[in-house]
Chain A
């Protein structure tokens, strides 16, 4: 089939009215011809618009209830994790670099603050101790990122309009996991972000965070988990945290543990 022959049947094909043999010839041709492929694409989009010309009637109420009941009976997990995994694999290198820069920047900031504080009067000693503690945490985070068995998954926001990004890094060798969140939307007074690890239908808390400049960090002692989690999720909870997630996930990632050699 040549371009002229294709031009004669592509509209019928787009409407689903071409005979089967004609359709096969067209499909073979457009596989190699960009111009005809584009024309077919336009014809298909034109055909797709036709359905929008119909007057719209209300669907029966009992149908809505039937569908909603079916949906409510579906399990929570089931298909979410396989759907997310390919995306996670694609985003890993970017998240690793982001997390590396974030941690090193944080460590440098802490070092500077430490220098400024040393030599100050005794009233600042408490602050020095706190910064020391933060610096130690930053070193732990660095250790996780630099560990030979370090693994990570990006944590994606539930809303496409959210600019939030996140990542969960962990290392069995150090026994530490770290969750980073950036560009998190400000919270209303009295609420905080809470991180969770899920295991089937159960969830354990990985701590709470009231963001500073949209940034949150959670350190996790992996020894509290007897098995790798299925997923990590972030929800909004009352300040101080909840016993179980009460809000929907605002950020979420399936966790797939890579087997260590």
Chain B
């Protein structure tokens, strides 16, 4: 029995929101999946690339994450937050697991702080495929990040995007462990305050 959605067209699916598309995955709707990929494939790839720093591994991560979504759409629970946030969070966690696993197997070469500084996010790089909502959200997050001291931002990014522990960051930067802990705490507190409206939305 060949199943085909006669209403399927980019126009129709492009008008559906993320939750509706995810709901359609319960019916194994390939067009809905394709639309989700078109919408977020770049975001997942960029997040993966930022964490694993290897294009081939990043591609494997993207494939694994999207196939997991296809096989288990129930793993996303809309009440817990926006799809994009959930998706990037899943991506980041999976990629950190991967580099930690590789670190155990091979000698992992952590990027230097200078290298870290070379690729700060910039609003001028906005991808036109991003939804307006996501672009607005990104601008808010970038503004919040820009408002915290560079030392705190660097440590937060090393923790989140490199999957480094506080001790590893301390070793890498040659800073006392207590300083690293304090900078993480202060930086995150400022981010939380600045992103309060976003957090309320996420917790709707």
- Report which A residues bind B (CB closer than 8 A): 8-9, 11-12, 14-19, 41-43, 45-60, 63-64, 66-68, 70-72, 74, 76, 79-80, 83-84, 158-161, 198, 201-203, 236, 244-249, 252
Contact = CB atoms under 8 A, between A and B. Distances in A.
Contacts of A16: 93, 96, 159-160, 163
A42 B169 CA distance: 23
A45 B63 contact: no
A48 B81 contact: yes
B89 A57 contact: no
Interface string B54-79: 01000100110011001111100000
B106 interface: no
A64 B70 contact: no
Interface string B9-40: 00000000001100110111110011001000
A16 B45 CA distance: 20
B185 to A, nearest CB: 5
A21 to B, nearest CB: 11
A109 to B, nearest CB: 33
21 contacts: A16-B159, A17-B159, A17-B165, A41-B203, A45-B203, A48-B202, A49-B195, A52-B141, A55-B125, A56-B126, A56-B127, A57-B45, A59-B45, A63-B62, A70-B67, A76-B1, A76-B3, A79-B71, A161-B20, A248-B27, A249-B27
A63 B58 CA distance: 10
B1 A83 contact: no
Nearest 10 A/B pairs, CB to CB? A55-B125, A51-B88, A248-B5, A59-B45, A11-B188, A17-B159, A56-B127, A15-B159, A48-B89, A59-B41
Interface band, chain B: 35 or more
Contacts of B5: 247-248
Given A45-B203, A71-B70, A15 B185 contact: no
B85 interface: yes
Contact of A19 (B91, B142, B167): B167
B7 interface: yes
Chain B contact residues: over half helix, strand or loop, or mixed?
Answer: helix
B53 to A, nearest CB: 13
B164 interface: yes
Nearest to B155: A17
Contacts of B127: 55-58
Given A71-B33, A74-B71, A252-B27, A55 B46 contact: yes
A249 B157 CA distance: 45
Given A52-B84, A55-B126, 7 more contacts: A17-B184, A48-B89, A52-B134, A67-B66, A79-B72, A158-B26, A198-B1
Interface in B106-161: 121-122, 125-127, 129-130, 134, 137-138, 141-142, 145, 156-157, 159-161
Of B49, B138, B184, chain A has the most CB atoms within 10 Å of the CB of: B184
B178 to A, nearest CB: 11
Contact of B184 (A15, A41, A52): A15
Nearest to A75: B28
A90 to B, nearest CB: 14
Contacts of B50: 54
A55 B91 CA distance: 15
Contact of A56 (B28, B37, B129): B129
B130 A56 contact: yes
